[in-house]
Amino acid sequence: MENSTDLGMLIQFVYVASGALFIYGLKMLGSAATARRGNMLSAIAMLVAILAALMDQGIVEYQWILLGFVVGAIIGGAAARMVQMTSMPEMVALFNGFGGMASLLVGWAALSGATSTFTLITIALSILIGGLTFTGSLVAYGKLSETIGSGAVMFKGQQVVNSLIVLGILGSAVMFCQHPDTMQWLYLIVGLSLLFGVMAVIPIGGADMPVVISLLNSYSGLAACAAGFAVNNNILIVAGSLVGASGIVLTQIMCKAMNRSLSNVLFSGFGSVSAATGEVEGEIKPISVEDAYYVLEAASNVAFVPGYGMAVAQAQHVVKELCELLEENGAEVSFGIHPVAGRMPGHMNVLLAEADVPYDQLLEMDDINPRMENVDVAIVIGANDVVNPAAREEESSPIYGMPIINVDSARTVFVLKRSMASGFAGIENPLFYKDNTRMLFGDAKESIGGLIREFE
């Protein structure tokens, strides 16, 4: 008996230590300089927590646990190494979805032996949130990869259908808690939650996916938290709460960056904007690599504004090389990072960190904008919507009111694009027609490579 008590105290101590490591690791994720160590620290904390949970269960089939660990490690390691940086948002969406499905299965498994109403409620919540997270993440994956079309899908009576689904879920959950032995109510909760995940995400346009990714991340944490209550595991409750809370905070940051309210995200209809009407007046002024070099060679202050096009071209390493050459030439170099540049939160930070760009050169939108008037050359690499002046100037624009990086305030703007195609939001960009803008057409990696050769 004494040994059992001592083991129980040890397990609870390990849980507390793991929770503290989770919190400290999450704090380290708040800085680009310490994010990698924070991620590793949190992973170690999770491993320790899993081992403690296995000890807490007593007799378990460890051979199956070990097999699952090995298979999962192989799949996760291969996916992390093989995935292209352009596909990172899709992988994050899938991971959110798998987390939701895991919580659904844990909640379902906890039904065996569940007797209290509270436990039944937490089981229903873990299944509900986990199910909608799973299918919602699959839809987000499809939109990000454009396998199902990135546009918002709307139809007449959509809100009525969603309301009926929610009422069906609530009714099924009540009946399930009252009659847990009647499995049809559980099956209804599972089916309706999976359907609701699809219905909740299809009305959201692809350009608003950064908000959706962070919200689904929060949902996966909340599902894990509910599953923790269902199986009475404290560390799962703590870990799920941390993920859920941090995801909500990130969602609010994303909403602010896109001039959206959280209610728009939660109650659908979000991002279902139409393309801007009318054509932008003005003349496109292309520039060659050679002429762009002469402008850069004379510049004393250069700001890069990266977007998804940089990820597509895998241009982050040549961008770093060009930065070094500009600094050797006496120019001050900085990067303006919009919160929703790319297709997931922090997409550009990940790309530039991979290329070892100094963290102190990465400036947030609110920090770079006051300096933009003193910038000699602003180089926009594949960004479109986050530098679109229509957000300030055209009330009819679907992105009107969205905070942007004011690259048009720089003395000269180079826009690196393959063509005049619109961005992910599908709207025209008046920046391309402004007097101080020059279009450097072609693959961004090749264009910047050409500038490097000119400098050398």
Helix axes 209-231, 234-257, angle to 10 degrees: 160
From the CB of residue 250, how many other CB atoms can be counted at a distance below 10 Å?
Answer: 20
What does the block give as tokens for 112?
A: 């065996």
The DSSP-derived string for 361-427 is GEEEHHHHGGGGGG-SEEEEES--GGG-THHHH-TTSTTTT-----GGGSSEEEEEESSS---TT--
Residue-wise pLDDT for 158-170, tens only, equals: 889 989 999 999 9
pLDDT value, residue 303: 93
Burial class (CB in 10 A: 0-12, 13-18, 19+), 168: middle
CB-based contacts of 27-34 (< 8 A; 24+ apart in sequence): 31/359, 32/349, 32/353, 32/359, 32/362, 33/359
Radius of gyration of the chain (CA): 25
402 phi, psi to nearest 5 deg: -75, 125
Which residue in the list 385, 408, 435, 443 is annotated as catalytic?
385
From the CB of residue 386, how many other CB atoms can be counted at a distance below 10 Å?
Answer: 30
Closest to 142 (Cα-Cα) out of 134, 150, 131: 150
Query: What whole-number distance in Å separates Cα of residue 28 and Cα of residue 39?
Result: 8
Residue-wise pLDDT for 1-16, tens only, equals: 556 677 778 888 889 9
Residue-wise pLDDT for 173-201, tens only, equals: 999 999 888 899 999 999 999 999 999 88
385 is catalytic: yes
Is 346 within 8 Å of 384 (Cβ atoms)?
no
Is 129 within 8 Å of 156 (Cβ atoms)?
no
**Cβ neighbours of residue 449 closer than 8 Å, sequence gap 6 or more:** 318
pLDDT value, residue 114: 78
Query: What whole-number distance in Å separates Cα of residue 117 and Cα of residue 114?
Result: 8
Residue showing tokens 């709460």: 241
What does the block give as tokens for 50?
A: 């899993």
pLDDT value, residue 311: 83
pLDDT value, residue 108: 93
412-417 sheet: strands from edge to edge: 362-364, 332-337, 301-306, 377-381, 412-417, 437-441
| Local structure of 305: helix, strand or coil | strand
State if pTM tops 0.75. Answer: yes
**Residues in the chain, pLDDT under 70:** 1-4, 58-60, 206-207, 262, 264-282, 421-426
Cα separation values, 189 from 181, 291, 292, 365, Å? 14, 63, 60, 43
